[in-house]
Amino acid sequence: MTTTTPARTTTRMAALVSEIRRVVDRGLAPDLTAYLVGERLAPHLGAPDLLTPTQQEGDPERYRQHVLHAESDGSFSVVALVWLPGQETCIHDHVSWCVAGVHQGQESEHRYRLSPGPDAARLVATEEVVNGQGEVCGFAPPGDIHKVRNSCRTKAISVHVYGADVARLGTSIRRVYTLPVD
């Protein structure tokens, strides 16, 4: 993944950040926070004035992360992930609650659960979800192990909101899984 630093914010993005801030400032449980943030994100997805042209640029080598906002107290950040056809993440989980919404294109998500075994733990595939433009999903650890990929023939863009300062951390990934998958 390549990362860029925060760039100019659009008027629509500034409004979305204000809406997210009002939810996060309530101090609710992580899963409820993710749900409510998802409700705020969904109406903005697909709007042509949400992202600047620069924030929609991909990288031919790997998916690209554009940090759009990082709250000064570290309570949340907003990023745009730009995926060219076939680009994907490794199997991973997250440092905090997360909401992801598809702004353009389509993404496939493979979800897993960790299963202890007599000799070693394994990953068990639990479901595959395909999200198109305007669809939102949210989660909170534990139970957030997944792999995401662009599953369309064109560029895909998703907007993610994390309950952590991704600009400071450099990533939202807590752990990468290389265990066998059942």
Q: Bridge-partner residues for 83, per DSSP?
A: 156
Provide the b/e sequence for 58-84 (b: ≥16 CB within 10 Å): bbeeebbbbbbbbbeeebbbbbbbbbb
The tokens for 78 are 């907003």
The tokens for 158 are 């998703």
Residues 62-121 have pLDDT tens digits of 999 999 999 999 999 999 999 999 999 999 988 899 999 999 999 999 999 988 877 788
How far apart, in whole angstroms, are the C-alpha atoms of residue 172 and residue 20? 18
The pLDDT value given to residue 1: 52
The pLDDT value given to residue 35: 95
pTM of the entire structure? 0.90
Secondary structure E strands in the chain: 2-4, 64-70, 77-83, 92-94, 98-104, 106-115, 122-132, 136-139, 145-150, 156-162, 173-176
Nearest by Cα to 76 from 45, 99, 49: 99
Flag whether pLDDT at 158 surpasses 90: yes
